[in-house]
Amino acid sequence: MTVQAARSRTDAPEHAAAPHRPAAAGRPTSAALVAAAAAVRALIALACGLLITGGLALLIWAITPASGSGPLPLLRGAVAAYAGGHGMDIAIDASTLTIAPLALGVLGAGMLWATASGTWRGRAAITSAADEIFAIVVAAAVYGIGVGLVGTVLAPPGALTGHQWWMPACWALVVLTTVTVVRGDGLRAALSDRAPWWLPLGVRLGGVAIAGLVGAGAIVLAAGLLAGFGDATTIAQTTTSGLGDGAGMALAGLAFLPNAVIDGLAYATGTGFGIGAGHYTPLAVDQAALPGLSIFAAAPSGAGGPRLLAVLVPVVVALVVGRSAVRRCAHRADRLLVVGVGAVVAGIGTAVLGVLAGGGVTGGAWATSGPEPLLLGVSVVLEIGVVGGLVAGSWRAEPRETVRAADRESAVGTAAPSDDQDVADDGHATISLVHPSRSTTGSVAGAADTVGPGAAGPRPVVPPQRTPHADTPVSSGPTPDADSTD
C-alpha cells in the first residue's frame, strides 16, 4: 500500500467509518404519507398512555367494592391527571393544580419514544432530514391537540381548558426530536456533517452529567425516605381508611416521584428546594407545614452533619465528566472545550428539569414548590465546569481513545513511535490519530502535554495496517491489507 493510499483512507470523514443506515429504496415518500404516518404514531402513543393510566384507575376501583360508585369518575380523573402530567393546569373547585405529576409525563414520553423509535419505519420510510423534521412537527401537533381535546371532553367538567394543548405539544416536540437525532437517519447525518467535532462530544458529556445528577437526586430521595420512614407510616395511617385509599395515596406519591427526585437533585447541588413557605438545603432548613403525602416525609428535618455528604455527589459526577474528556481528547485545550460545552448542556438541562418539577396548588399554603431553576442551572454549570475542567486540564496521562469517529470531522494517520515503546517487535510502528489542526508531518512537540517526551521530532508517515474502528483503540500489530498494491 502506498503512503498516498494510506493517508487517503485515514483522511476520510469520520462518519464514513460508521455509515448511517441507507434510505429505503423505491419512490420518494410523499408529504401526505409522511404526515399520515406521523399522525398515526402520535395517536397510538396517546392511546397507549391513556389506556395505562385508565387501567390504574380501574385497578383502584376494583379493590374498593364498597365505594358504591362506578368507575367513570376515576376514569375521568385519570384523563385529567394524564393531561396534567404534560404540563396542563387542572382546576379543582376554587384551586388550580399547577404542579405536574411528572410520572405520567414520563409515561407519555416513553410511549412517544417507542412509537417513533426506529426512525419512523414502516410503509412510509421516513429517512431524509426534511421528512423527519416534517414528521416531528406533525406528530407533536397531533399529540398536543389530542391530549387537549381528550382532556377537555373526557376529564371532569371544567377541570381542563383546551387552549393549553401547546404544553403537551412542546413535550412531544422535545421527545420526538431527541429520538430522531439519536435513532434517526437523515437528521442525524445532517447534524453530524455540519456540527464541529467538539459539539456532539460535549453534548454527550452533558447528558452523562444530567443522568448522574438525576441518579444523585434519587439517592438523596431514598436516603430521606429511609430517615423519615416512621413519619411516612404515620402519614399513611392517618390519611387513609382502607385498601382503596391506601392504593390511591400510593399512586399519587408515585405520580410525583420524579418531582421529588429533581428536588433531591437540587438539594445535592446545594441550592435546595422549597415547599410552600419552607426551604431545604444541606446548610439550612426553614420548616413549614407539608402536604399529607407520604413522599413528603423525605424532606429533611435539619441541616449539617451527614447531610453535607450530599454535596459530594455532583463533585463525583464532575470527576467522571473530566475523566471522560481526558480519555477522548489528546490535547488539553480540546478537553477544556468539551468539558465547558458539557457543563453548559448540563446546566440548561437541569434548569429545564427544575421548571418541570415546580408548581403547586393555588389558593393555599403550597402555591409554590420545587427548586429555583436559574440558580440550579448556574450552580451545575459552575460545579461541572470547574471540577471537570480541573481534572481535564491537569491530567497528564495519555488518553485511551485519542479520537472517536463521532467526535471528529476527520482524522490524519501519522506515525509517532517513541524510542523505547512505540515500535512493536516486528518493526511495525503504531499509528497515532490527531486532530487535523495539529501538525501531522513534522514535529509533534505541540502535544507534549499529553503524549510525553519521546514523541517530539519529525517522524516519517507510516501507512496504517488497517483502518481503525471508530470506537476501538488502534492496533499496532501487522494486519494483511486486501487493498495493498505494493
pLDDT tens digit sequence for 199-256: 999 999 999 999 999 999 999 999 988 888 887 888 777 777 766 677 778 888 889 9
Sequence letter at residue 155 = A
CA distance 201 to 329: 10
First to last CA, the chain: 5
Name the more confident of 439 and 78: 78
pLDDT of amino acid 384: 94
Supply the DSSP string of 351-370, one letter for each residue: HHHHHHH---BTTSTTS-EE
pLDDT of amino acid 66: 56
Question: Closest Cα to residue 160, out of 168, 169, 149?
Answer: 149
Find all residues with CB under 8 Å of 36, minimum gap 6, and list them.
124
CA atoms within 13 A on the CB side of 332: 15
Find all residues with CB under 8 Å of 121, minimum gap 6, and list them.
none
Find all residues with CB under 8 Å of 196, minimum gap 6, and list them.
409
Reply yes or no on whether the pLDDT at 257 is more than 70: yes
pLDDT of amino acid 190: 85
Residue 108 in contact with residue 94, Cβ under 8 Å? Answer: no
CA distance 395 to 321: 13
CA distance 247 to 252: 9
Reply yes or no on whether the pLDDT at 150 is more than 50: yes
Reply yes or no on whether the pLDDT at 422 is more than 50: no
The phi-psi region of residue 424 (left if phi > 0; otherwise alpha if psi is between -120 and 50; otherwise beta) is beta
Chain CA centroid to CA 283, Å: 29
Question: Closest Cα to residue 417, out of 446, 471, 458?
Answer: 458
pLDDT > 90: what percent of the chain?
Answer: 37
Q: Where are the beta strands (DSSP E) in 99-232?
A: none
Average pLDDT over residues 32-54: 92
Pairing outcome for strands 369-370 and 95-97: unpaired
The predicted-structure confidence for 364-392, as pLDDT tens digits, reads as follows 788 889 999 999 999 999 999 999 999 98
The predicted-structure confidence for 309-354, as pLDDT tens digits, reads as follows 888 988 999 999 999 999 888 888 899 999 999 999 999 999 999 9
pLDDT of amino acid 168: 94
CA distance 52 to 475: 51
Q: Where are the beta strands (DSSP E) in 300-459?
A: 369-370, 412-415, 431-434
Residue 467 in contact with residue 14, Cβ under 8 Å? Answer: no
CA distance 174 to 180: 10
Residue 189 in contact with residue 114, Cβ under 8 Å? Answer: no
The predicted-structure confidence for 76-124, as pLDDT tens digits, reads as follows 999 999 999 999 999 888 888 999 999 999 999 999 999 887 544 444 5
Measured CA distances, 379 to 220, 241, 282, 299 (Å): 18, 44, 14, 21
CA distance 399 to 222: 36
Poorest-pLDDT segment among 135-149, 186-200, 439-453: 439-453
Supply the DSSP string of 219-277, one letter for each residue: HHHHHHHHHTHHHHHHHHHHH--SHHHHHHHHHHHHHTHHHHHHHHHHHHHT--EEETT
Pairing outcome for strands 285-286 and 90-92: unpaired
Question: Closest Cα to residue 468, out of 440, 418, 430?
Answer: 430
Reply yes or no on whether the pLDDT at 43 is more than 90: yes
Reply yes or no on whether the pLDDT at 33 is more than 60: yes
pLDDT of amino acid 479: 43
Grid coordinates representing 56 are 390504574
* Angle, helices 129-154/72-84, rounded to nearest 10 degrees: 140
Reply yes or no on whether the pLDDT at 417 is more than 50: no
Find all residues with CB under 8 Å of 90, minimum gap 6, and list them.
80, 81, 83, 84, 96, 97, 159, 160
Grid coordinates representing 427 are 518493526
The predicted-structure confidence for 447-478, as pLDDT tens digits, reads as follows 334 444 334 444 444 444 544 444 444 444 44
Residue 120 in contact with residue 37, Cβ under 8 Å? Answer: yes
